[in-house]
Structure 1
């Protein structure tokens, strides 16, 4: 069984990991100052330059992957005889998975024997990336695609996202909070935390006075809701705040006496970075429940 793994650029995995594991990536798009740029894991526009532009006042917007892109991608691999597994950004946050389902149905009309599986991650950024990472491990171990899908479906609502943002105005622009809340929070130095629910939606969690307390709360989330942390790979995603990410990694290692399987730090890309803004930082792990 030759499985072709496909994801989208909202997974925020490193381009090196993607290339090393021969994963194909469907790029969402970012409208930046009137120019549409593919969010291709920093290849067209690197992450540092993107966040520099945002800090200078750029107000990007994002668009989902269209049906035609998926149709072309799926057809290519079906004609090579591949089984296809696409793991996509939460359907509660983007129409990208819907585009993939429509494209799959179109390809099945043309190739009735095709094997195309679309998995809604119900996650964002490296929450989606964690499922891709798990799929890679299982494919390397020659696990049948049906078992891979069953396993990913069984854990996807246990993928915990503990997120904080630095600037409330990006959440305001995305409609997550009101202008009044953003203004007051900014004046008081309030740093909100966010979570993802079982439907894959972004919800407000706790609010903290100051960045340091917010970062500590992310580590506390692991202690409160983590399971078998010593056997896990914990992901930290960061938007132009690598020093904070390294500090959070240090806190996790100290909390667990360096007994975690691994901690992987990745950069948040343009699509997720558009909505969270510079300073967004997330810790993602498998836990008990969302």
Structure 2
């Protein structure tokens, strides 16, 4: 069996703790423009999560861009030259056209390296949801799954990654065109903390509109109670956008209500944070109510 490399993009927000004792996953950086400057976010990048949210808090809005084919090539080709196959798990096509650039690059590389297996899977997941799916894929690689078997496993199980998250401010959703100016004004006045999720098409959707942080966390827990399936995996991920106190409240609530949960924590990075802003809280679990 030939060896293969799992790759993903910086959107996945994988923390080092999530990958302990698992095979190495190659993370491809992504560009973020904020404060009039373009930064690279990811391994060896020049933008930290802390610096990003500090710039947001001082009034800067961020935009993100797709990974271009040349960047993909610079990461994929050395891997192929070393004799490894590639399984790339990509940011959802429901929110980005990045996968189109990836497929363009990979199709060219398939012609150049016909003896190598080069696969690209649309995860239909984002941020920590993508990260949790990548984590489980790496676990199965360690268990001996072939690259084709793992590709099939990811496609079969990607709809079982349930993303439920809240945002604290409307500014960045409005700036990104996710909500109208009128909705942002009303939502801010009423202290609404919208509960959003990633739907079956990998798109961002509003599920309900709780008022205040406490009710928002309660809404997240209610969704987990309805749909968590620990037989798939007990891993539950909690992410936050520069909101450690809120993340601590969410974690304590999960531990009380779901004592069997195996909790991992991570920062929500600039790729998703550009659209959700500081104060975002994410609850990711494996279940049946995506």
Corresponding residue for 2:5?
A: 4
CA distance in structure 1 between the aligned counterparts of 2:66 and 2:20, rounded to whole angstroms: 22
Q: Does residue 1:130 correspond to 2:132, yes or no?
A: yes
Structural mapping, 1:211-250, within 5 Å? 211-228=213-230, 231-250=233-252
Corresponding residue for 2:96?
A: 94
**Contact 1:164–1:282 (CA<8 Å) still a contact in 2?**
yes
CA distance in structure 2 between the aligned counterparts of 1:78 and 1:230, rounded to whole angstroms: 33
1:45 is displaced (CA, Å) by 2.1
Corresponding residue for 2:175?
A: 173
Corresponding residue for 2:62?
A: 60
Corresponding residue for 2:282?
A: 282
CA distance in structure 2 between the aligned counterparts of 1:82 and 1:252, rounded to whole angstroms: 40
Q: Please say which of residues 167-176 and 38-47 is displaced more in the overlay.
A: 38-47
What whole-Å deviation, never above 9, does each CA across 1:99-127 have from its counterpart, x for those lacking one?
11111101011111221111111011011
1:75 is displaced (CA, Å) by 1.4
Structural mapping, 1:136-215, within 5 Å? 136-215=138-217
Query: SS in structure 2 opposite 1:123?
Result: coil
**Contact 2:85–2:116 (CA<8 Å) still a contact in 1?**
yes
**Contact 2:226–2:289 (CA<8 Å) still a contact in 1?**
no
Structure 1 gaps, min length 5? none
CA distance in structure 1 between the aligned counterparts of 2:101 and 2:72, rounded to whole angstroms: 7
Corresponding residue for 2:79?
A: 77
TM-score (norm 1): 0.95
Query: SS in structure 1 opposite 2:194?
Result: strand
CA distance in structure 2 between the aligned counterparts of 1:204 and 1:42, rounded to whole angstroms: 34
**Contact 1:226–1:285 (CA<8 Å) still a contact in 2?**
yes
Q: Please say which of residues 110-119 and 32-41 is displaced more in the overlay.
A: 32-41
The partner residue of 1:27 within 29, 47, 50 is 29
**Contact 1:30–1:61 (CA<8 Å) still a contact in 2?**
yes
1:16 is displaced (CA, Å) by 5.9
1:230 is displaced (CA, Å) by 9.1
Corresponding residue for 1:109?
A: 111
Q: Does residue 1:38 correspond to 2:40, yes or no?
A: yes
CA distance in structure 2 between the aligned counterparts of 1:173 and 1:193, rounded to whole angstroms: 18
CA distance in structure 1 between the aligned counterparts of 2:216 and 2:110, rounded to whole angstroms: 47
Structure 2 gaps, min length 5? none
**Contact 1:12–1:41 (CA<8 Å) still a contact in 2?**
no
Q: Please say which of residues 43-52 and 116-125 is displaced more in the overlay.
A: 43-52
